[in-house]
Structure 1
Amino acid sequence: MRLLLNVIWLVLCGFWMAIGYVIAGIVCCVLIIPIPFGIAAFRIANYALWPFGRTLVDRRDAGVGSLIGNILWIVFAGWWLALAHIATGIALCVTIIGIPLGLANFKLVPVSLVPLGREIVPV
């Protein structure tokens, strides 16, 4: 079932959402100072491509640096990625088949806002 949901996800919205994260990651890596944000964006792009069967957990060793970094991320990149997830989730929830995919999109909103201090693990 996970494989089927992941394939449908990839076709309908995963590819496009991952492109958004990759663009944010490339911009961050080109600017050199926000390279940690770029690495986090690439990690979330991987998760946005294939989300079913994996989950996010908070890292216990994340400290004040990740808090400050998350605030900067929200200001510069997180808000438009979160809006993209919300818009895509609403569009997918219009159809009965798209409801699980829309709910998965809503699950990605918090990580698009605050990506630092989180880790992707298999279920």
Structure 2
Amino acid sequence: MGCLGNLLWFIFGGAISALSWCVAGCLWCITVVGIPIGMQCFKFASLSCFPFGKEVRYGGGAVSLLVNIIWLIVSGLPLAIEHAVMGVILCVTVIGIPFGLQQFKLAKLALMPFGAEIY
């Protein structure tokens, strides 16, 4: 069921979400200092393509908190708002609720991605 969900997800919105994460990653990779942040964006773009069957665990320390604050100011809010709006739109129908919940999972990840691990 996860494979079918991931396939439908990719066709009906996952590609757009992944594209947003890739754009953010490319913009962060312009500077040498931003390359680690950009690489993290590319990792989360792959999660955004196929989120069903994957879990995100949050953790991290002081460095993760500092980078998350910088991330939130620069790139996190637009991505989180995009995922939240798409999640609300998808939750309008009963069939779209599982997809909307995945968008909300990605919205939370967009707010504080550093220190998070994908399982």
Q: TM-score range by the shorter chain?
A: over 0.9
- How many residue pairs end up in the alignment? 119
Choose from 88, 111, 114 the match for 2:112. Answer: 114
- RMSD, aligned CA: 1.0
CA distance in 2, matches of 1:98, 1:8: 11
Q: CA deviation at 1:104?
A: 1.1
Query: Secondary structure in 2 aligned to 1:30?
Result: coil
- The amino acid across from 1:18 in the alignment is A
- Deviation, 1:58, is 2.6
How far apart are 1:90 and its partner, in Å? 1.1
Partners of 1:73 and 1:36 in 2: CA distance: 12
**Counterparts of 1:29 and 1:14, CA distance in 2:** 22
- The sequence identity of aligned pairs, in percent, is 39
Q: Distance in 1 between matches of 2:22 and 2:14?
A: 12
TM-score, length of structure 1 as denominator length: 0.92
Per-residue CA deviation, residues 73-98 of structure 1 (Å, 9 max, x unaligned), is 00000000000001111111122211
User: Displaced runs of 4+ in structure 1, greater than 4 A?
Assistant: none
1:13: which partner in 2?
Answer: 13
Per the TM alignment, residue 2 of structure 1 is displaced from its structure 2 partner at its CA by 0.5
How far residue 109 of structure 1 moved from its aligned partner, in angstroms, is 1.3
Alpha-carbon displacement from aligned partner over 1:28-64 (angstroms, at most 9, x marks no partner): 01122111210111111010000011111134xx321
Q: Which runs of 5+ in 2 are unaligned?
A: none
Measured against aligned partners, the alpha-carbon deviations of 1:8-31 in whole angstroms (never above 9, x if no partner) come to 110111100000000000010112
